[in-house]
Amino acid sequence: GIQVEQSPPDLILQEGANSTLRCNFSDSVNNLQWFHQNPWGQLINLFYIPSGTKQNGRLSATTVATERYSLLYISSSQTTDSGVYFCAVRGSGYALNFGKGTSLLVTP
């Protein structure tokens, strides 16, 4: 399957700071999604973004499919942004393949 690498593995921010999370993948993809796993374990859909740029409030994402990477931007972080952020990709004939995630802690 497609290899997915996320960086950084861990991140600690003070409330109000901005951050960029990166996802590299090893092959062309038909689907790329970003998820937030909250402290209760729920996987929450953030973006479906196989290519291009999308924004949703303080969050935005960009996928450059030709260069096989995606970025998730979090601006003006809040404590409720804490949790693990997963990138997941799907190539031809496969199901979603997840990276190991970026664990984010936002402190007051």
Footprint on this chain of another protein (rule: CB under 8 A):
30-31, 33, 35, 41-43, 45, 48, 50, 86, 88, 90, 94-101
Judged by beta carbon, residue 41 or residue 108, the one nearer another protein is 41
Judged by beta carbon, residue 14 or residue 40, the one nearer another protein is 40
Judged by beta carbon, residue 93 or residue 108, the one nearer another protein is 93
List beta partners, residue 31.
Answer: 90
Residue 27 is classified by DSSP as S
Residue 63 is classified by DSSP as E
Smallest CA-to-CA distance from 23 within 32, 36, 31, 13 is with: 32
CA distance 38 to 53: 24
Least distance from another protein to the Cβ atom of residue 33, Å: 6
Least distance from another protein to the Cβ atom of residue 84, Å: 10
| H-assigned helices in 1-108 | none
Least distance from another protein to the Cβ atom of residue 99, Å: 8
